Amino acid sequence: MPLTRRTRIVLRWLVLLCLLAVASGLLILGWGLALVGAGMERALAAAGSPRVFASPGVLRAGEAWTSEELQFFFAAHGLPPKPCSRPRPYEVCHTGNSFLLGPGLASGQTPVVVRVSGSGLELSQTNAGALREITLPPRLVALLPEKDTVQWPVALEQVSPGLINSVVDLEDRGFLSHPGLSLRGVLRATVANLTSGGVKQGGSTITQQVVKLLLLRPERRMSRKVLEAFLASLLEYRYSKRQILNAYLNHVYFGQDGGVSVVGVEAASRFYFGKPARFLSLHEAALLAGMIAAPNRFNPFVHPQAAKARRAQALSALQREGHVSGEEATEAQLGPLPTAPWPLRWEAAAHFLDLVKGKEVITTLDPVVQEAVRAGVGASLARLFAQKPALGEGSGDPLQVAVVVVGADGRILALQGSKQPKPGELNRALSAKRPIGSLVKPFLVARALEEGWNLEATLLDEPLAVPVGTQLWTPQNHDGRFRGAISVKEALVHSVNVPMVRLGLSLGLSQVTNTLRELGLSPPGTPAELLGAVEASPLEVARAFTTLLAGGRLLEPWAVEPGRHHRQVFAPEAVGQVRGALEEVVESGTAAGFASRCGRPLAGKTGTTDNRRDSWFVALRPKFLVVVWVGTDRNRETGLYGASGAGVVWQEIDRRLPRVYKEGPWP
């Protein structure tokens, strides 16, 4: 029977509508797959927040350490020793003269024993042989926020199994078997939402949570729940369970560090426990997993009882699913809660960070030296403020300090640019250029030795008038007296001004200017530069003094990549003689007594500018040099000489450094 015209029209429309429906469905499917793919690819490729690390800590068998020095060493590396006998992963126990390093700190997963003995350090693995040396993981100096968030993506293999199991068992026990949606969860949420008359529960699986974290806005509407379910199904279709779980663990929210959001299990593990996520103990993993539902409500620092109860729920879920025994769950429930966050930005190194750029870098920063600088500056200023209250905080222009420590190979080991290192504060170690005073004198002597002078040559210490334009410049000695004929060495050791001016004039002002420029300084080209009328930052001063540790070569101080362009400024023989004279500076010269109090080998040079506005001290040890500047931002008189100001700061820093750092032959 032939179809009527009306029937044919209806059929055509039905076919057209079917085709449109299929096309629309394919478009929606394609859009959904593209959206899911783009979101997951961004998540899996995310580099996270910039991460800055210190240099790894190294201990060698036979080195001379005391128990107190080792405690300082481990604490500076972010591993404060605890009085215990069985260290957990990534922890250090201390009993008597022995330190036990937990799994993950050295030599893999086997604990290591570090023992102080009369013959030096003894290093060994438990149930194994002796070790020649151990290397600690580099300390995290800063996890820098981006858009008020810190995040540290890691592979699933870098997360402890206890944390993975805790999250799955507590958040989504059917994760490994469902297709992205949980029927039980959906029914439970539907009943709750109908009863309340709004969207109160989501019944979300981990897959749905990933969709919400990566693809959707945080809205509570039924249409959004439908879209979430659709995208979750596509996510399960396109990606493996491991990839989905990895994305979830790297993007879930774990609370606040001040005004900064802590995102992902690695950042959370560092923030709450000070260790990588792969080394979390069972009780730590259960606590983190429990916090996911409500990070603020279960914050252990603010609500310890609620956090402990939530941890118990996570441990109960682990036991229910057979991932831990009842005994293990009970023991974990007794584990201590963290009482304070671990800093994601080490304040002591706040100014060192001004030297660093990059997403993930291991720097030259030595935590032991940096901590010695921080503590030494604080202690010395307390002494100076007690002696001179007018220089304290109430003065309106208090003393400030800048310190730079550079290794014999140019590595910047520590840096501090104020009395208290704080992010964003003026970094005087890098940017404050002040007259360097008598610090210029060793370089005059080094050049003179190359020009045929010797340390025993005679210089006249008598009144001197030097024409400068239409005027006469009459340099004076700091004590106002003249000594007659003295040697070059004596003039350097006791920092006598007038003979040094005569020495510089004999060399020729232009040659002195060129020498200072070779050192990276900016001399004015006037006779006053012979007495240090040269403005430089502490880091620039440190660069110039590297010549005295590097055989006359000028090294470019570096924090991440070593400098490659070294210039030979002085002959090694001249540098050796100058350094020998500077050893007498700390024996009997302007810093007399420093060597006897602080130990040898030690060389140094004091610097004081006009009216004692700037106090400088440069200390040379075989492995490093320290530059200290003390003054005020408004450049007022302090009444401090190089030894009584900057020298006091240096002594407080130096006495905190372990002996092994200060010993050894001159390079």
The set of catalytic residues is 171, 438
Cβ pair 101, 92 in contact under 8 A: yes
For residues 454 and 474, the answer to whether their CB atoms sit within 8 Å is: no
Phi and psi based region of residue 110 (left: phi greater than 0; alpha: psi -120 to 50; beta: remaining): beta
The torsion angles phi and psi of 601, rounded to 5 degrees, stand at -75, 140
Whether the CB-CB separation of 83 and 95 falls below 8 Å is answered with yes
What residues pair up with 113 in beta bridges, in sequence order?
Answer: 100, 124
Contact 433, 539 (CB under 8 A): no
DSSP 552: T
Cα separation of 400 and 233, whole Å? 62
Q: Is the dihedral of CA 240, 241, 244, 250 positive or negative?
A: negative
Considering only the C-alpha atoms of the chain, give the largest distance between any 2 of them, rounded to a whole number of Å. 136
Q: Single out the residue of 399, 409, 163 nearest to residue 265, CA to CA.
A: 163
- β-strand 360-362 against 400-407: which pairing, if any? unpaired
Q: How far is it, in rounded angstroms, from Cα 71 to Cα 98? A: 10
Q: Which of 546, 542, 563 is nearest to 403 (CA)?
A: 542
> What is the rounded distance in angstroms from the CA atom of residue 629 to the CA atom of residue 349?
18
Give the end-to-end CA distance of the chain in Å, rounded to a whole number: 109
Q: Answer yes or no: are the C-beta atoms of 488 and 459 closer than 8 Å.
A: yes
Measure the CA–CA gap between 153 and 156, rounded to whole angstroms.
9
Q: 595: which residues sit within 8 A by CB, 6+ positions away?
A: 583, 586, 587, 602
Indicate the residue type of 260.
Answer: V
Burial 569-581 (b: 16+ CB within 10 A, else e): bbeeebbbbbbeb
Residue whose C-alpha is closest to residue 182's, from 209, 221, 200 = 209
Comparing CA positions, the residue from 329, 624, 136 lying closest to residue 650 is 624
Cβ(436)–Cβ(444) under 8 Å?
A: no
How many Cα atoms occupy the beta-carbon half-sphere of 122 within 13 Å? 11
CA distance 91 to 114: 13
How many residues comprise the chain?
667
Characterize the bridge pairing of strands 260-263 and 149-151: parallel
Q: Is 316 helix (H, G, I), strand (E, B) or coil?
A: helix
CA distances from 395 to 82, 389, 634 (A): 42, 8, 11
Tokens encoding 456: 């025993």
Q: What is the DSSP letter of 87?
A: P
Distance CA(43)–CA(251), nearest Å, equals 8
Q: Which of 420, 438, 322 lies closest to 379 in space, CA to CA?
A: 420
Strand blocks (E) in 128-201: 133-135, 140-143, 149-151
Decide if 209 contacts 248 (C-beta within 8 A): yes
CA distance 483 to 481: 7
